[in-house]
Amino acid sequence: MTTTQDRGASAAPAAGTTVLETVDVAVHYGGIKAVDGIDMKLETGRILGILGPNGSGKSTLLGAITRLVPLTRGRVLLDGEDYGRTPPSKLAHRGIARTFQTVRLLPDLPVLGNIQLGADLRLNRATRWRELVRRSVPESVTEAIERTGVGDVLDLLPGELSYGTARRVEIARALASRPRVLMLDEPTAGMNQPERLEVADLLRKLRDEGLTQLLVEHDVQMMVDTCDRLLAMNQGKHVAEGAPADVVRDPAVQEAYLGKRWNRAADQ
């Protein structure tokens, strides 16, 4: 327990070592091949973006990586070790945090409680009991609140938040666990442009501090601006991979999803 926590919280190996890897991962639902043979490497201290049109299997791939969706085929490796049989709840303890495509906050819990949920797995027995007596909030929670700028809404219930704010609360919840790999499923969906820029800015800052990230999005501009590397998918299959500008210019990617006009986005 302690060892995994230490690994999760502090260990920051040199940027560029592979932390998470998928080998020929496939998820089939009957005849539908949602994900079909994806090889992916996530390197420490980098942001890898997974790009693709709706229904291309991005979120399913994320589900497979976080073990919420069973694999039909292939292997998932964390630090070179196959975790295909590890219970999904153990992954959070090993430093993997994620957000979902839709807002998933507990409706009856104020924002603060929702964010604390992210940090709860790191609490030891003593802190748990102390919290019953007086309201103590772990440092990782206050830090996550500060970073995502949701300090004004801590007492509100999720139903009272704007969509953009709710998404930021979700990012805060994920950050509160002090993950070493953060996976975000369309974090800026439903946000307006300034909010998007803010999030992109935050993700880059976190990257600079060494937080490895996997970003699933279909906002191409944001992907080009934010990611160090892109992997493009279409119909469950790998289409292209490499530097964002190159991937966006790749004819196969453009045909699948982008349209010629995104050439300009790549050139900027």
Where on the chain is the footprint of another protein (CB under 8 A)?
66, 68, 87-93, 97-98, 100, 104, 106-109, 113, 116-118, 120-121, 123, 128, 131-132, 152, 160, 173, 177
Structure tokens, 12 = 């920051």
**Gyration radius of the chain's alpha carbons:** 18
As measured in angstroms, the least distance from the Cβ of 120 to another protein is 4
Measured CA to CA, the distance from residue 124 to residue 194 in angstroms comes to 39
Question: CA 120 to CA 112: how far, in whole Å?
Answer: 12
Residue 98 or 249 having the CB closest to another protein:
98
- Measured from the CB atom, the residue of 92 and 248 that comes closer to another protein is 92
Q: Which is nearer to another protein, 110 or 242 (CB)?
A: 110
**CB nearer another protein, residue 91 or residue 265:** 91
Strands 73-78 and 18-29, by their bridges, are: antiparallel
| Whole-number Å distance between alpha carbons of 51 and 28 | 20
Q: Would you say 167 or 173 has its CB closer to another protein?
A: 173
Per-residue DSSP letter, 178: -
What gap in Å lies between CA 206 and CA 147, rounded to an integer? 9
Residue carrying the six token digits 């800026």: 188
Measure the CA–CA gap between 175 and 198, rounded to whole angstroms: 16
Amino acid at position 228, single letter: D
